[in-house]
Amino acid sequence: MRENLKNLKQKISLLPDYHQRMKALENSFEGETCYIVSCGPSIMDVDHDVLRSELSNNLVFSVKQAYFLFKDLVDFHFFNCNNFTPYEFGGETIYCSQADALPESAARAYIWGNQKYDLNFVLRDNKIHENKLSRSKEYDKWCFKNRLDRPWGPSIMHETIIYMAVHLGVSKIRTIGWDHIDPNGKEYKIDHFYDNKQDYKIYSQANPLDVGEIEESIQMSGEVSQWLLEKNIRLEVYDSDKCFIHEDVHRYKI
């Protein structure tokens, strides 16, 4: 796995643009299981030594600050313009950035600074509610084989990360720390495993979600799971009482 990634990293570094780099990555992990490690509180429900053992044998995506928990095992790392923390660039990891409703150059100038990355995707149509992926449900339209610009999901998971797993040709996606929040709760603030800690400097903090967006995102997770099944890809989320992903999405335990 790591040798394949090392070769891919070297290969795409020689290619002049993002389209050619994505073409080189297409189906490069065909049939593999992909773990997506994100920042929700359920990531603290599992023994990290056990999780590390599982991750070491599979393709690993990290989302934002979850990178720091398993950085020596991360194959692809994802960040956008919300809740940004600088990440060390190097090794075999492929770093993927998403510029949200602004040009890549503006994201670099005002948020990311000197952060290096291998790929960039631009979300161009932000905050036009009628065009949200959760409403249009045009999932095939936004596959990377068709285009590199991104829809407003909401959430980078729906906009870019799951699409990358599809593009790489995996047969199973397992998430941990992709939790959402209880739509029936009193607060609509996304919880993170690092809340109330000073471990990370956070730039451009995300705004709180409204209850409608939460409900749409949860409903969408079930629809995306079905869409993936039609492509012979099984989506599973870690079984935790902190996870509010749609009940139709399969649960797993380690």
Domain hosting residue 189, numbered range: 2-252
CB 95 within 8 A of CB 119: yes
> In this predicted model, which residue has the larger pLDDT, 195 or 22?
22
pLDDT band at 187 (very low <50, low <70, confident <90, very high): low
pLDDT of residue 35: 98
Helix runs in the chain, H state only: 2-13, 18-25, 48-55, 104-107, 133-136, 156, 162-168, 211-230
Residue 153, CB half-sphere, CA atoms under 13 Å: how many?
22
What pLDDT does 227 receive?
A: 98
pLDDT digits (tens, 9 = 90+) for 16-48: 999 999 999 999 999 999 999 999 999 999 999
3-state secondary structure 123-187: ECCCCCHHHCHHHHCCCHHHCCCCCCCECCCCCHHHHHHHHHHHHHCCCEEEEECCCCCCCCCCC
Which residue pairs from 72-80 have beta carbons closer than 8 angstroms and sit at least 24 positions apart in sequence?
74/37, 75/1, 75/2, 75/5, 76/164, 78/156, 78/160, 78/161, 78/164, 80/123, 80/156, 80/160
Average pLDDT over residues 162-188: 90
Q: What is the pTM of this model?
A: 0.95
In the chain, how many domains are there?
Answer: 1
- 198 CB-near residues (< 8 Å, 6+ apart): none
